[in-house]
Structure 1
Amino acid sequence: MTLELRHLRCILAVARHLHFARAADELGLPPPSLTKQIQDAERLLQFRLFHRTRRSVSLTAAGQAYIPEAAAVLGQLEQARELGLLAERGQLGRIQLGYVASAAFAGIMRGTVKKFRQLHPRIDVALLEVPMDEIAGRLVDGVLDIAYVRPPMPYPEDLQAIRVHQDEFVVALPEDSALAALSAIEPHRLRGSRFAVPEQELGTLEVARRGRFAPLIDSRPGPLVAVLARVSLGDTVAVVPGTLCNCVALPGVVYRPLAGKPIASEIALLYRKHERLPAVRAFLRHARESRSTDA
């Protein structure tokens, strides 16, 4: 037989009250059962904890030394249990969240993460900008838990995505381009232009399809700021998400809407289908509830 938690709880209750009947009442035990628990504990410890008479209960010298340490141990065990319960409920943990830069420009990530942190202060959300073609692999390998991406993009069957935001593509032009004088750009007017293409090439390809031309791809800088920097040099154009108009201003670059039916530009959360981490599942629930009204 070894000393167990039940023994510690009985010892501390008697130490608090210095009265067996009141301690038994607190614990919901018959007084004889409490007495036996204390006797068993003292036998296992090999020293007496309490001086007992018919009229009083007091701590022995050994009890005075033992009780504070026992209380600290029990407190740590209770705290450990509470932390375990919080983690099980998705209220404690760490989330490694990847994103493409345009998710930050759109504001959807900022709003969702900020509110989630307020609701779940014990969950650490770490952010990491990642090239879009690396995100799926990092999710599968467990390096990332969840990621903001610009679909469409290829990913394996054990991942899935939910749309959380939608805007539309626009054209980024050099400010001295003749097209900059137009209020809206018809796709066919971009025939013959040289394109700087971002990670998500959907907008570029759709504009070319509508304009009935094959796009002349000058470069693929990748991140949107790099794409705009290329446009600012004056010899390329780019099809980019409209959210950039309000948050990224580079010298020499102007934005114009596309004429005709809008070309949708989306942001989605990519995650593992069978996610087991409660904290990640909690973030997904929150993201679904707070997604943009136009999603």
Structure 2
Amino acid sequence: MRQLELHHLRCIACVAKHLHFSRAAEELEIAPPSLTRHIQEAERLLGVRLFHRTKRSVALSAAGEAYLADITPALDHLARGAERAALAERGELGRVEIGYVASAAYAGVLRQAVGGFRAAHPGIDVSIREVPMDRVPSMFNDGQLDVAFVRPPMQLSEGIRVTTVHRDTFVLALPEDSELAASATLAPARLRDEWFVLPEQESGTYEVARRGRFVPKLGPQPGTLAAVLACVSLGGNVAVVPHTLADCIALPGVVYRPISGKPVPSEIALAYRQFERAPAVRLFVDHVKRR
């Protein structure tokens, strides 16, 4: 059995709006006889008369008024759905799941990227969470992350690309009562006998050891940079950390010293899928790259 279709509902609503078949047909961009057939067909399928028609006037019947009250919200909802679909296609609606390492927040990268994006695209839901770097690859694979602010180098799955968004250097975090703390700068070779707390990004520690021509003695590996500094504050360990921390975190018992010689580079990068399909995510990646 045939049922009413969307074009029937639009015809009914438009005739009810104008109470004039010719004007309604003009708005719908169809011929008046076609509009008349659609209304007659709708009335036949419903088994009621929707409009009282004479040669000079059109008026809603009681059945028409009752039916219009129910179909108007449905048509409005469909119109909003079409608008939201168009916005989503343009990337103006959607959701972006962002992971970050703590230093991205310390360096201001997260605030600048996410804050600016939210202001420019209020219709996009942006979710952020701090994540351990070693979990980033699996979270990408599982779809838990769309993008991530990380510290290269790190092993990522095929299809994940990285773009540098912040350049920094590594410095030393020392216990304030260490003999080394008396020096304004420290040559890598002077750290030969020290125990190192190992941050998530290990490259700085190994590069300092390489320049000092020694194999580093590794102590705790507590995870986050805040936990690394807590270990340093307890004494007996040093750590190679991003210079950003020296500007942001003043922990009791911890001092920072530059590493002499050529700066040891440290970076923050945005990791993202090379062939990302979600328009909102692509918009975020483009936004960060432009900055």
TM superposition shift of 1:113: 0.8
List per-residue Cα deviations over 1:172-217 (Å, max 9, x = no partner).
1111222222222221222211111101111111111111122111
TM superposition shift of 1:18: 1.1
Percent identity for Structure 1 against Structure 2:
59
| Cα contact 1:105–1:243 (8 A) shared by 2 | yes
Distance 2:274 2:22 in 1: 56
List per-residue Cα deviations over 1:116-142 (Å, max 9, x = no partner).
112222221111222111110110121
TM superposition shift of 1:33: 2.1
TM superposition shift of 1:29: 2.5
Q: TM (normalized to structure 1)? A: 0.94
Look up the match of 1:199: 200
Q: Superposition pairs for residues 47-58 of structure 1, below 5 Å?
A: 47-58=48-59
TM superposition shift of 1:240: 0.2
Distance 1:88 1:28 in 2: 27
Q: 2:269 aligned with 1:268, yes or no?
A: yes
SS of the equivalent of 1:23 reads helix
List per-residue Cα deviations over 1:39-80 (Å, max 9, x = no partner).
122112211111011121111000110112111111111111
Look up the match of 1:293: none
Cα RMSD, aligned residues only? 1.4
Look up the match of 1:119: 120
Provide structure 1 residue ranges, at least 5 long, that are not aligned to the other structure.
291-295
The letter for the 2-side match of 1:247 is C
SS of the equivalent of 1:222 reads coil
TM superposition shift of 1:27: 2.0
SS of the equivalent of 2:219 reads strand
Comparing 106-115 with 24-33, which one deviates more in the overlay? 24-33
Distance 1:203 1:264 in 2: 8
Q: TM (normalized to structure 2)? A: 0.95
Q: Superposition pairs for residues 72-151 of structure 1, below 5 Å?
A: 72-151=73-152
Distance 1:218 1:191 in 2: 14
TM superposition shift of 1:81: 1.4
Distance 1:249 1:42 in 2: 77
Distance 2:248 2:69 in 1: 58
Q: 2:157 aligned with 1:156, yes or no?
A: yes
Look up the match of 1:278: 279
Comparing 82-91 with 262-271, which one deviates more in the overlay? 82-91
| Cα contact 1:140–1:272 (8 A) shared by 2 | no
Q: 2:259 aligned with 1:258, yes or no?
A: yes
SS of the equivalent of 1:221 reads coil
Look up the match of 2:71: 70
Distance 1:188 1:79 in 2: 67
TM superposition shift of 1:8: 1.6
The letter for the 2-side match of 1:35 is T
The letter for the 2-side match of 1:256 is R
Comparing 119-128 with 70-79, which one deviates more in the overlay? 119-128
Provide structure 2 residue ranges, at least 5 long, that are not aligned to the other structure.
none
The alignment covers a number of residue pairs equal to 290
TM superposition shift of 1:32: 1.9
Comparing 176-185 with 132-141, which one deviates more in the overlay? 176-185
Distance 2:282 2:173 in 1: 38
User: Which stretches of structure 1, 4 residues or more, deviate above 3 A after TM superposition?
Assistant: none
Distance 2:26 2:149 in 1: 56
Distance 1:193 1:185 in 2: 12
TM superposition shift of 1:21: 1.9
TM superposition shift of 1:108: 0.4
Distance 1:54 1:156 in 2: 72
